[in-house]
Amino acid sequence: KAGVTQTPRYLIKTRGQQVTLSCSPISGHRSVSWYQQTPGQGLQFLFEYFSETQRNKGNFPGRFSGRQFSNSRSEMNVSTLELGDSALYLCASSPDQETQYFGPGTRLLVL
Amino acid sequence: AQKVTQAQTEISVVEKEDVTLDCVYETRDTTYYLFWYKQPPSGELVFLIRRNSFDEQNEISGRYSWNFQKSTSSFNFTITASQVVDSAVYFCALISWGKLQFGAGTQVVVTP
């Protein structure tokens, strides 16, 4: 089976812009979660989607949003980008709510 | 609230030495899962092992082994006979209600 894929892999944006990141889960996995990784805060949970519904949400401002499509693919959107949003964004898919399998991540740089 | 603590920031070893990574967790849940993930320089988190809260049996899988002790809330991980390819950041994590709580990670450096 193909692993979790994320696009794009690298992205450079300027403050105030918005960005959309995409994640395709492992075939058959219905749960998709998003995480932000920064040197200062480490790995932090953003949100989880299951069957097109947001099931869990972390402590991030409303500028961070997501959605999941009927084929389980997920997108994450960040509006009004700030310098502090520069991070590695990781997507994970899961078949069973326990073991999460991660994609290669999208490295976002906000200038 | 849940918390995962990895007190070791960095461990440096010479190839073929054993490496033990410490992990201590806090949770009020009675059912939970614990994980170890590896993050090489490429950035992708690679799943290594999983243990549920009801199973304290310690196991060995190849060069990896783990020691889960519920009484001390510890879930330590050992790499036996380390290799240069083991150089990475290792994360301990706890999951409950679908949210993974990660520790800060331990950088392992294996030199030839």
Q: Is the pLDDT of residue B54 over 90?
A: no
Q: What is the DSSP string of A9-68?
A: SEEEE-TT--EEEEEEPPTT--EEEEEEEETTTEEEEEEEEETTEEEEE-S--TTEEEEE
C-alpha Rg value of chain A to the nearest Å: 13
Rounded Cα distance, A80 and A64, in Å: 10
Q: What is the DSSP secondary structure assignment for residue B97, as one 8-state letter?
A: T
Residue environment code for B17-46, b if the CB has 16+ CB neighbours within 10 A, otherwise e: eebebbbbbebeeeebbbbbbbbeeebbbe
Average pLDDT over chain A, rounded to whole?
94
Amino acid A12: pLDDT:
98
Tokens 């794009």 belong to A8
Work out the mean pLDDT of chain B and round it to a whole number. Answer: 92
Cβ A107–B91 below 8 Å, yes or no? no
The reported pLDDT for the residue numbered B53 is 86
- Decide: B86 and B11 in contact? Cβ < 8 Å: no
Rounded to an integer, what distance in angstroms lies between the CA atom of residue B70 and that of residue A44? 25
pLDDT the model gives residue A23: 98
pLDDT of residue A15: 97
**Nearest-by-Cβ selection for A43 from B47, B97, B102:** B102
Q: Which residues of A touch B105 (CB under 8 A)?
A: 42-43
pLDDT tens for B4-31 read 999 999 999 999 999 999 999 999 988 8
Kindly give the pairing relationship between strand A53-57 and strand A106-110.
Answer: unpaired
Question: Which band of pLDDT confidence, cut at 50, 70 and 90, is reported for residue A2?
Answer: confident
Span A26-80, pLDDT tens digits = 999 999 999 999 999 999 999 999 999 999 899 999 999 999 999 999 999 999 9
CA distance B73 to chain A (A): 19
- Judged by a CB distance cut-off of 8 A, whether residue A100 touches chain B is yes
Tens-place pLDDT, residues B66-87: 999 999 999 999 999 999 999 9
Strands B74-79 vs B64-69: parallel, antiparallel or unpaired: antiparallel
